[in-house]
Structure 1
Amino acid sequence: MFFGLDFASPLFWSAFGSIMIANIVLSGDNAVVIAMAARTLEPHQRGKAIFWGSAAAIVMRIILTIVAIQLLSLPYLKMIGAVLLVYIGVDLLKGEDNGDESGQEISGMMAAIRTILLADLVMSLDNVLAVAAAAKGNLPLLVLGLLVSIPLIVFGATLLTKVMERFPIIITIGAALLGFLAGEMLLTDPAVTSRFGQIAEQTVTFGGILGAVLVVALGTYLQKRGKSPVTGS
């Protein structure tokens, strides 16, 4: 036994495997955000931003998992999260041109890490419940499972940044994913369900589609406006 973990027990490995699988499957959208946030950085900065952003996000997710059930019952929390996801999606799709000066590079990397943390915080509200359920209340097991998953998430995000360079359409798909999640979060907020009752799954899906369209349309508009020559103030 080590910190309450019995490595010789089949139950340990079963639960550990469940945590790993749940975290990998549920972190797919997070990897997309990490890759999108790091794509505008210089190549030598991307690895650092992806690693530190992912590591900090996992630590934050551990803390979030402990209080997730209580948090998800709070009204308006998902609404706030939905607004944040729309903002993040539009901002990432719009993109920004960073200068070559070292100060601007450092600022760009810190901005990418902040974006990764904020997006992971919002998007993990639902995800952590499944991971917590897989841990069956064993906190050391939960922490171990999430920490071991860091290299997998980092690898996935690193691979995605390379793919995005060749296929920019993936950036738009990633932004649409954030909008879709935002629409779903909005319609499943306790404040909405307490007033209108449980929203039908088809309606929630339609809300997600509207959110995806909103993010892509607004992000594309701002992107084109930023590239157009501006006259006047």
Structure 2
Amino acid sequence: MDILALLADPAAWAALVTLVTLEIVLGIDNLVFIAILSNKLPEHQQDKARRLGLALALIMRIGLLTLIGWIVTLQTPLFDLGISGAPGPYGEPTFETAFSGRDLILLAGGLFLLWKATKEIHHAIDTENDSGELLEKDKGVAQIAFGAAIAQIIALDLVFSIDSILTAVGMTDEVPIMIAAVVITVGLMMVAANPLSRFIERNPTLVMLALAFLVMIGLVLIADGFGVHIPKGYVYAAMGFSAAVETLNIVSRNRRARARAAANPE
């Protein structure tokens, strides 16, 4: 189907809207990771890292879409360990040991997210004094090299890109629609990246919540790699509820702070 025919096809527009919505939902994890990682850089490099990371994500996804035939083959099992868990309520195995290329990528990405998020949580807990300020001897450790940040962003981009593309393949077989959805989504993420990063930086408690989200996403990726498919709706509903509660806590703290400032003017 050519481009003009796609533009005149209502079903193509419906698929585009659906794919953009899906890409935005799947991209939240990636955006949170980029926000946390870029905030570890010196201030003058943070915006550059976010934009470069998202630009590389766009290039990587478009490149993978041109190899969509190969991407689909990643779902073909490469080897089978020959064991499975106890049967579920309908006789199905509770987990699989026939691993495809996609499963191995998800396992690697999940383990990386677990390692990275746990390391950041450990650092956040161990390098603050009682007043919440970073200890002088650890201020250099809090920052990472620009190249290391970009390398880690690329690694997660690859995992999330393959996962989102395989999801998109089940919704449409028109590559131009997929490319348009990716371009629109990454454009929206570029607009949202700086405000999200600043919001997280201004509210330190959100950093811990975001890191906990990354731990959960890592576990979901690992479970998916073993064939245990956790509905994404449950995951994002839990994340949304937690974020809403934390937002109420932030509003409450800000109001108390303003009330104290008004009651005790300098």
Structure-2-length-normalised TM-score: 0.60
Distance 1:71 1:123 in 2: 14
Q: Which runs of 5+ in 2 are unaligned?
A: 78-98, 125-137, 239-266
Partner of 1:71: 74
Partner of 1:90: 118
Q: What pairs up with 1:1-233 in 2 under 5 angstroms?
A: 6-64=6-64, 66=68, 67-74=70-77, 75=99, 77=104, 78-93=106-121, 94=123, 97-98=139-140, 108-134=145-171, 136-189=172-225, 192-193=226-227, 199=228
* Deviation string, structure 1 residues 73-99 (Cα, Å, up to 9, x no partner): 452603322211112223444378459
Distance 1:128 1:49 in 2: 24
Displacement of 1:58: 2.3
Q: Which runs of 5+ in 1 are unaligned?
A: 100-104, 194-198, 210-233
Aligned residues: 191
Q: Give the match's secondary structure for 1:40.
A: coil
* Deviation string, structure 1 residues 85-125 (Cα, Å, up to 9, x no partner): 112223444378459xxxxx9x7222222221112222344
Displacement of 1:3: 5.1
More displaced, 22-31 or 81-90? 81-90
The amino acid that maps onto 1:35 is A
Contact 1:98 1:108 in 2 (8 A): no
Structure-2 change in CA distance of 1:12 and 1:182 (3 Å): same
Displacement of 1:163: 0.9
Distance 1:200 1:23 in 2: 18
Partner of 1:215: none
More helix by share: 1
Q: Give the match's secondary structure for 2:6.
A: coil
Distance 1:187 1:157 in 2: 28
* Deviation string, structure 1 residues 155-191 (Cα, Å, up to 9, x no partner): 22212211111111222222222221222222332xx
Distance 2:17 2:167 in 1: 13
Q: Give the match's secondary structure for 1:127.
A: helix
Contact 2:23 2:182 in 1 (8 A): yes
Identity of aligned residues (%): 26
What is the RMSD of the two structures over their aligned residues, measured on CA atoms? 3.2
Displacement of 1:150: 1.6
Contact 2:201 2:207 in 1 (8 A): no
Q: Mark the structure with the bigger radius of gyration.
A: 2
Structure-1-length-normalised TM-score: 0.68
More displaced, 115-124 or 86-95? 86-95
